[in-house]
Amino acid sequence: MNWDAIGAIGETLGALGVLITVGYLAVQLRPNTQALKTSALRSAEDVVLLTEKNERYIAHVMKVQRKEKLTEEERAQTVERFLTIMRTFERIWQEHKLGSVTQYQFAQHLDLLRWAMSSPATRLMWGYLAQTFDPGYRAIVEEKVLADGAPTSSIVKAYLALDTQTNE
């Protein structure tokens, strides 16, 4: 056997090894994709849990809207909770960019974010804290949530509808 034949066998074995590796990686991608989708669903659940845990936060924001003074502890809790909410939405935006949150799911999250940012108090906090978030996320919040002409949250519309029903 000459060196050319040995070289050809080596190249063939190398190509076969590459094909096996690519096949293995393709098989491994499926569970990873499923894990990303599961993570996106967990993000949706996180938002629901955040909403359920925010009774005090909402009470504090409403207190500010009524121009009542918050205690030092209430201010700290409110800012901490606001940051937690906004970080959760930032993570959902990142998962959307990666493709694990669908456009429809992301639109629903934007609606929730519009609700979360519907009060002057939350907009004021955003004004002070926005620079601590990813520039891409800040752009989404500014363009799709806070900009003039951005849609009003369906949650806010439902709330206002209830208000008109009880005042008639």
In the chain, % of residues over pLDDT 90: 22
pLDDT at 65 over 80: yes
pLDDT at 40: 57
- Give the pLDDT band (50/70/90) at residue 20: confident
Contact 60, 77 (CB under 8 A): yes
Is the separation of the CB atoms in 37 and 100 below 8 Å?
yes
The rounded percent of the chain whose pLDDT value lies above 70 is 78
Secondary structure of residue 150 in the 3-state scheme: coil
pLDDT at site 146? 92
Task: Please state which of the ranges 49-58, 128-137, 143-152 shows the lowest mean pLDDT.
Answer: 49-58
pLDDT digits (tens, 9 = 90+) for 87-143: 988 988 998 898 888 898 888 888 888 888 888 889 999 999 999 999 999 999 999
The backbone torsions φ and ψ at residue 51, rounded to the nearest 5 degrees and listed phi first, read: -65, -40
Query: Which residue from 138, 53, 123 is spatially nearest to 89, judged by alpha carbons?
Result: 138
CA dist 117 to 19, 25, 51, 122, 168, Å? 51, 43, 13, 5, 28
Q: What is the widest separation between alpha-carbon atoms in the chain?
A: 99
DSSP letter assigned to residue 119: S
Reading the block at residue 164, the tokens are 């008109």
Instruction: Give residue 126's pLDDT.
Output: 96
What are residue 147's phi and psi, to 5 degrees? -65, 150
Q: Which pLDDT score, from 0 to 100, does residue 113 have?
A: 87
φ, ψ for residue 166 (rounded to 5)? -80, -20
Average pLDDT across the chain, whole number: 81
Contacts for 140 with CB less than 8 Å, ≥ 6 apart: 93, 110
- Mean pLDDT of all residues in 26-31: 68
